[in-house]
Amino acid sequence: MTFGMSPFAQAVVSALLLVAVLTLYLLRFARSKGWLMVVAGVCVLDQYVKLFLLPHFHGHSVRLLFGTINIVYLQNRDQGFGGSFSYLLVVTLACVLAMMFLYDRLTKTRYRMSRLAEYGFALMIGGYMGILLDRITQGFVVDFLEFGKRSAFVYNLADLAVIFAVALLLIRGVRYLTEPRDWRKDIADGTGGR
């Protein structure tokens, strides 16, 4: 279901929705505002590399670390990971609705994020903002990091920030689920099982 939107419009709206809900979580559940520096740092670094360093690589590839990493220039007009996904907006809306339901539950328990979760959310927002800026200003996303020879995917710093963020959040989720705790005490004292 595309809601009559082009793949480009779906990608933009999806990124905006995700940035909004992740920012809402940080504003409500983060312990400090240090995450703002992470968001700005990821976005600025991603855009700086694309605007000021990559133009020197137009038309050629540079191999680093014996060809393990290749710097190339690619204009990615797809929604992500080299393809278009006709249900991107539907999946995004489902995720946002689930997060809003969870937001309500976490608010009732006076939950506070761990630093790991804060940095994971901040990296994700910074990455989505870098990708979003490319789409809005250029109509495509600039990718330039290829790992290995003839990789199926080419990445940029924003992509890597999002991937790293997902890894951090998975680690935090596993740690959260495996920490011994008295659930009744967490609910009673309002910590929400930080």
The residues assigned a catalytic role are: 143, 159
Cα distances (angstroms) measured from residue 45 to each of 41, 112, 118, 123, 168: 6, 28, 19, 12, 20
How many whole angstroms from its chain centre is CA 126?
Answer: 7
Q: Which two tokens stand for residue 55?
A: 């133009």
